[in-house]
Amino acid sequence: MLDKTGIAKRIAKEIKDGYYVNLGIGIPTLVANYIPAHIDVVLQSENGLLGMGPFPFEGEEDADVINAGKQTITMLPGSAIFDSAMSFGMIRARKVNLTILGAMEVSENGDIANWKIPGKMVKGMGGAMDLVASAENIIVAMQHVNKAGESKLLPQCTLPLTGINCVKKIVTELAVLDVLPGGGFKLLERAPGVSVEEIKSATGGKLIIEGEIPEMDFN
């Protein structure tokens, strides 16, 4: 199984040259560290930064330069800082090519729940609802099962929804899956050492398997 770093490395392979990319909090923020050097992309942070770089080395942090998750980050040459109104204007105008989000649940028809667990205090919706409503391409970075071992890839989400029919691809510690337009999780790749049977048992929603499923390639 992959750790969080492994999930981020695999998702970094989905980023194409020339993309403008928004990284959500949690595992998605790690993706910034693994974008191939030959790829020219611009990372957007919804709190008002275009041109976000990788995390700083210890001792080089600047407390005034943070991402939407309040983590210290770096800025690349040519970066721009602006207010959140302009940042969300970019998002709502669909200027962002790819959004990478974490999730607590995803349904087999692409619904996502990632902002609230009933009964637990949350700071608020954040930018998640704007992102899922406006993004043309959403990749979810998440754990396949919860702490109780229950699947988080379900026929229907049980938690309050953030968006509907919006997730295109999911990368977990076990697998890479596409969400098909007609519903269902199509298995594309296995994590190294993980069997198809393990993925079947960990997936609550409809799982579609066609032919031999290769292991993930990180090269």
Residues with a catalytic annotation lie at: 46
Q: In whole angstroms, what is the distance from residue 32 CA to residue 34 CA?
A: 6
Q: In whole angstroms, what is the distance from residue 204 CA to residue 156 CA?
A: 9
How far CA 15 is from CA of 53, 96, 165, in Å, comes to 15, 12, 21
Distance between start and end Cα atoms, the chain: 17
Q: Which is nearest to 11 in space by CA: 79, 103, 132?
A: 103
